[in-house]
């Protein structure tokens, strides 16, 4: 009898372990880059939070639909994290540092119950970037470049396989599009109404 999905572990090393070790070998040979990439992968989430706040702040000068989209972009990043974490708990893919213990690591190997598939960092980064693209194209393009760098950093430091990052990007993108389109469709009239009340300073420029 087949074990339930949540009890099955992905064998990530067989999917793209070779590509993973190619990247980590590159990290081993570029020690000068290790510290900057580790700092980015560890603290780069702050940039996406800042960009989402800038998107919200600028949306105060735009119409109610744009503000609804900005709120949706912020919500989408949080929803992406929850959805991605649910997928992690379903598939239980061990971290590559456990399947390939001889690979070079920049980041310490996480606990055994901290699964790899998909990448939370990448999912949230892409959710923020795609959400911002639907609010402010210039901010969104900048965030998208940062999201690609975040995903690449997760493989470089040894935390994820490339497929973890790719699927995380897809999850974040889909969640962001659905959330922003839903808030634009169903929350614009509510935002317009709230702009005339006590929440006006939050939703519109005075």
Could you give the domains of the chain? 13-203 (1.20.144)
Residue 63: burial class (beta carbons within 10 Å; 0-12, 13-18, 19+): middle
Nearest CA among 44, 69, 43, 40 for reference residue 56: 69
Q: What angle do CA 3, 5, 9 make, to 5 degrees?
A: 85
Across the chain, what does the average pLDDT equal? 88
Q: What is the dihedral of CA 110, 170, 83, 72, to 10 degrees?
A: 120
Measured over the CA atoms of residue 5, residue 7, residue 13 and residue 14, the dihedral's sign is negative
Question: In the numeric block, which tokens belong to residue 187?
Answer: 């929350």
Q: What is the pLDDT of residue 181?
A: 94
- Report the range out of 89-93, 104-108, 152-156, 191-195 with the highest average pLDDT: 152-156
Nearest CA among 190, 161, 177, 198 for reference residue 76: 177
Contact 55, 135 (CB under 8 A): yes
pTM: 0.87
Question: In the numeric block, which tokens belong to residue 94?
Answer: 């061990």
Question: In the numeric block, which tokens belong to residue 52?
Answer: 């989402």
Longest dimension (CA), the chain: 64
Contact 172, 119 (CB under 8 A): no
Quickly list H helices, 60-161.
64-91, 96-99, 120-133, 137-156
Distance CA 35, CA 97 (A): 19
Q: What is the pLDDT of residue 206?
A: 67
Range in 9-18, 34-43, 181-190 with the lowest mean pLDDT: 9-18
Tell me the per-residue pLDDT of 29-85, one tens digit each, with 9 for 90 and over: 999 999 999 999 999 999 999 999 999 999 888 888 889 999 999 999 999 999 999
Average pLDDT over residues 195-206: 77
Q: What are phi and psi of 64, to 5 degrees?
A: -65, -35
Question: In the numeric block, which tokens belong to residue 44?
Answer: 């780069």
Of the chain, the percentage scoring pLDDT greater than 70 comes to 94
Look at 204 and 169; give whichever has higher pLDDT: 169
């Amino acid at each position: 009898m087949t074990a339930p999905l949540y009890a099955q572990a992905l064998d990530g090393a067989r999917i793209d372990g070779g590509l993973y070790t190619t990247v980590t070998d590159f990290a081993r040979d570029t020690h000068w880059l290790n510290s900057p990439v580790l700092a980015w992968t560890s603290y780069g989430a702050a940039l996406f939070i800042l960009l989402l706040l800038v998107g919200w702040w600028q949306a105060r000068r735009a119409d109610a639909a744009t503000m609804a989209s900005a709120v949706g972009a912020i919500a989408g990043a949080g929803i992406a994290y929850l959805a991605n974490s649910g997928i992690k708990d379903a598939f239980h893919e061990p971290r590559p540092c456990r399947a390939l213990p001889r690979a070079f690591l920049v980041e310490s190997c996480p606990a055994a119950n901290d699964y790899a598939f998909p990448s939370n960092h990448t999912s949230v980064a892409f959710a923020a970037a795609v959400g911002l693209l639907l609010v402010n194209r210039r901010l969104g393009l900048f965030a998208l470049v940062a999201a690609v760098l975040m995903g690449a950093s997760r493989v470089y430091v040894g935390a994820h396989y490339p497929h973890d990052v790719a699927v995380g990007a897809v999850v974040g993108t889909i969640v962001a599009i659905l959330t922003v389109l839903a808030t634009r469709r169903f929350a614009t009239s509510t935002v317009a109404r709230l702009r005339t009340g006590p929440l006006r300073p939050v939703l519109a420029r005075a």
